[in-house]
Amino acid sequence: MRSITRGAVVAAAVATVLAPAAAQAAPVTDSVGLLGTYGFGRAEVIGEAGLRSGAWQAYSVRSGYTGDDLLVGHPVRTSPLAAETVVYTAAFNEVADPQGECRKVGAAGVANRVWVSFRCRTGFVPSYTLLVR
């Protein structure tokens, strides 16, 4: 019994010493929230593009009855980025209303303080690129 107690005390001490180091090594995510519900498959595309662009640090997709929910982990932005960053492009052959989707993602990002401002730049053959600051 004594050896079990001694082992538990040693394990607790090691965990106490190592826990702060593990917490410091983890990336900082100030906020995690729902960015919106998008068409089936679109949340995954938007989530991956946002991750690659650095707009957020993590994302997950939750499927529902009306579409896919996009949840993102991101630092809270209170001031604009120094330069515009391209998050993703919605093309007419990928989504029924690329301009509407671009505006919806942009506005949701401002509301959730993922970015401070956005604009949707139109391209040739109706496509819209989301640029954020």
Q: pLDDT tens, 44-85? A: 999 999 999 999 999 999 998 899 999 999 999 989 988 999
In which domain, by residue range, is 118 found?
Answer: 31-132
- Decide if 87 is inside a domain: yes
Residue 115 lies in a domain: yes
- Please report whether residue 121 resides in a domain: yes
- Could you tell me if residue 16 is inside a domain? no
pLDDT at position 123: 83
**Does 26 reside within a domain?**
no
Question: Residue 51: what pLDDT?
Answer: 96
Sign of CA dihedral 95, 41, 118, 121: negative
- Flag whether pLDDT at 89 surpasses 70: yes
Domain count, the chain: 1
pLDDT tens, 19-41?
444 444 445 558 889 999 999 99
Does residue 124 lie in a domain region?
Answer: yes
Rg (C-alpha) for the chain, rounded Å, is 21
Half-sphere exposure of 112 (CA within 13 A, CB side): 22
